[in-house]
Amino acid sequence: MAGEYEAWTQEQLIARIHELEQQAGQTTSSNNGVSATNIAPVAAQDTPTSIPFRKPPKAPPKAFDASKYSSRLIALKFAYLGQKYNGFEHHKNNSTPLPTIEEELWKALVKTRLINPIPTTGDTADYNKADRKTFATWDREGADVNWDGCEYSKCGRTDRGVSAFGQVIGVRVRSNRPLPKQPAKEPESQENPPAAEDELDILDSEPDAATKHFNEVTDELPYIQLLNRVLPPDIRVYAWCPNPPENFSARFSCKERRYKYFFTNPCFAPVPGSAGTYHTPSSPMREGTLDIAAMQLACESLIGLHDFRNMCKIDASKQLTNFKRRIFYAGIEEVSPLSVPSYLSHGAIAPPDQPKMYAFVLHGSAFLWHQVRSIVAILFLIGQRLEPPSLVQQLLDIETNPTRPKYEMASDAPLVLWDCIFPHADEVQTSEERETGYQDRLQWVYVGDEGGVEPKSKTSPSLAGRGKWGRGRCY
């Protein structure tokens, strides 16, 4: 065929090319017709729009196996603002209009898988499979708090509206410490002599390197950050104790509780003019002004072991017969003002000296129901010179005043559980013997200390200083 084209002229070759192009065009059009008639209907049946997309079913949440982790007993110290809560203690099968602090703590510990409660009889909740849907139900409808198997204990049971800056609980939580390796069972063989078998037992009994070099503080889980990520913003954990003493109980190991009640002087703005002045047995007083010296004098009568039945609210359901409590310290202290820039020290723009902030400080071994608020109400009457400072001694004299007089308790908002003190076991004395306060002997790891924050990330420089998982530090 190629030899024939060599003899052709240029005009003949051009004509041959045109002929081949026409044949090629006819072949292409015929092929397109077949594709349109035969393939197009099939393609119309297979279009993605004709088949609805179905999302594959979500796999059920994987159950958390707590047996794969070790546990340890620790103490947690935290603060909270109590105005949005129905007190600290949660009562089972007793619905409240507001959540409790204890309920929020329990939900945070379960969400972070730090505790694994043992289901009680009739309890259908599976805490190992709790997911976001379960947590949302708890937040909406409340949770049935269950501390079984957690060695849980609480220190102070604050009432509704009362805040705390030094509340303490004890609880057994999940630990980062590796579990000891189980020795492998070797098949019985006559080849190993008894001496060799003894040597193998000694080697198996030695702890592995990971367990031996585990630091109980720096290598432990960041408990503070884990809990603060899921707790409400008005509840914050700020310290934990890695080594509480044996048989530790946050309730019974605490031998001193410290409260503070904050107020201002004047406690409220008086009516302008002479209408804001009233007469007292000693001298005229301006409305809202408190006699701090008289209140301080009355506080001295509180120190010691006394019967406080006239300065508390009696709960008839408990049938309490002993109302004696030991007070280590009672006094009125001025709260230091906040530091201000130096240029504000000029007399023309300096902040006013009034009103000043004060705190009624009370340290005691234990307290009765509403005891602190009742004492504050009496002190306010003395501060306004409506009652003499000797009123405290009169109310503590049960023989002369066997029944509680009628008076209104002070507000709950300014009351704060300031601190809880845990002394050494050999320092503990009974309330009848002990006359001075204790010192806290627990070794607390605070936020900012080594072991109090998450370790810095080693995998990415951009995450350095933002926590172990790059989610930031939550204090």
Q: For the segment 113-165, what is each residue's pLDDT rounded down to a tens digit?
A: 999 888 776 565 666 666 666 667 666 666 778 898 899 999 988 999 999 99
Residue-wise pLDDT tens digits, 175-189 = 999 988 776 666 555
Q: Which residue has the higher pLDDT, 475 or 278?
A: 278
Question: What is the spatial distance between Cα 453 and Cα 55, in angstroms, rounded to a whole number?
Answer: 41
pLDDT of residue 200: 39
At 13-57, the pLDDT tens digits run: 888 888 888 888 776 666 655 554 454 444 444 445 556 777 787
User: What is the average pLDDT score of the chain?
Assistant: 80
Mean pLDDT of 205-225: 75
| Lowest-confidence segment of 324-338, 370-384, 407-421 by average pLDDT | 324-338
CA-to-CA distance for 155 and 361, rounded, in angstroms?
19
pLDDT of 202 higher than 60: no
447: phi then psi, degrees, rounded to nearest 5: -60, 130
Structure tokens at 276: 């804001």
pLDDT at 467 over 70: no
Confidence of residue 474 (pLDDT cuts 50, 70, 90): very low
Main-chain phi, psi angles of 320, to 5 degrees: -75, 135
What residues does CATH 3.30.70.580 cover in the chain? 60-176+220-253+444-475
Q: Buried (b) or exposed (e) across 318-341, using 16+ Cβ within 10 A?
A: eeeeebebbbbebebeeeeeeeee
Question: To the nearest whole percent, how much of the chain has pLDDT over 90?
Answer: 43
Stretch among 63-67, 145-149, 229-233 having the lowest mean pLDDT: 63-67
CATH number among 3.30.70.141, 3.30.70.660, 3.40.1400.10, 3.40.50.11890, domain 265-338+362-414: 3.30.70.660
Q: How far is CA 384 from CA 21, 48, 78, 187, in A?
A: 115, 83, 35, 87
Residue 190, helix vs strand vs coil: coil
Pairing outcome for strands 277-279 and 284-286: antiparallel
Spatial CB neighbours of 209, under 8 Å, sequence gap ≥ 6? none
CA distance 81 to 417: 11
Asked which of 163-172, 211-220, 375-384 is least confident by mean pLDDT, the reply is 211-220
Catalytic status, residue 234 = no
CB 452 within 8 A of CB 446: yes
Question: 């007089």: which residue's tokens?
Answer: 405
Q: Mean pLDDT over residues 333-357, rounded?
A: 67
CB 305 within 8 A of CB 367: no
Cβ atoms of 240 and 74 within 8 Å: the answer is yes
Of 159, 234, 307, 440, the active-site residue reads: 159
Which of 37-51, 54-68, 305-319, 413-427 is least confident? 37-51
At 456, the pLDDT band (50, 70, 90 cuts) reads low
Q: What is the pLDDT of residue 471?
A: 36
The answer to whether residue 206 scores a pLDDT higher than 90 is no
| Top-confidence residue, 66 or 334 | 334
Query: What do you get for the CA distance between the two ends of the chain, in Å?
Result: 90
**Tokens encoding 189:** 């063989």
What pLDDT score does 184 carry?
62
Length of the chain: 475
The answer to which of 208-217, 253-262, 442-451 has the lowest mean pLDDT is 208-217
Task: Report the top-level CATH class of 60-176+220-253+444-475.
Answer: alpha beta
DSSP code for 427: G
Q: Is the peptide bond before 266 cis (omega within 30 degrees of 0)?
A: yes
Alpha helices per DSSP H over 253-309 = 292-300
Rounded Cα distance between 453 and 180, Å, is 26
Q: What is the mean pLDDT of residues 272-301?
A: 82
Q: Prior bond to 355 cis, omega within 30?
A: yes
Please state whether 294 falls in left (phi above 0), alpha (psi between -120 and 50) or beta: alpha
CA dihedral 73, 472, 444, 332 (to 10 degrees): -120
Interatomic CA distance for residues 251 and 229, integer angstroms: 27
Instruction: CATH 3.30.70.660 in the chain: give the residue spans.
Output: 265-338+362-414
- pTM (2 decimals)? 0.75
Percent of the chain past pLDDT 70, that is, above it, reads: 72
Q: Which of 301-305, 350-354, 374-378, 404-408 has the lowest mean pLDDT?
A: 350-354
Q: What is the DSSP letter of 129?
A: G
* CA gap 384, 183 in Å, rounded: 75
Which pLDDT does position 199 carry in this prediction?
Answer: 43
Kindly indicate the confidence band of residue 85, based on its pLDDT and cuts at 50, 70 and 90.
Answer: very high
Write the CB contacts of 305 (distance below 8 Å, at least 6 apart in sequence).
Answer: 324, 325, 326, 327, 431, 432
Q: What is the mean pLDDT of residues 423-442?
A: 90
Task: Identify the burial level of 405 via C-beta atoms within 10 angstroms of its C-beta, where 0-12 means exposed, 13-18 middle and 19 or more buried.
Answer: exposed
Tokens of 193: 């002599």
Q: What is the DSSP letter of 56?
A: P
pLDDT for 130: 66
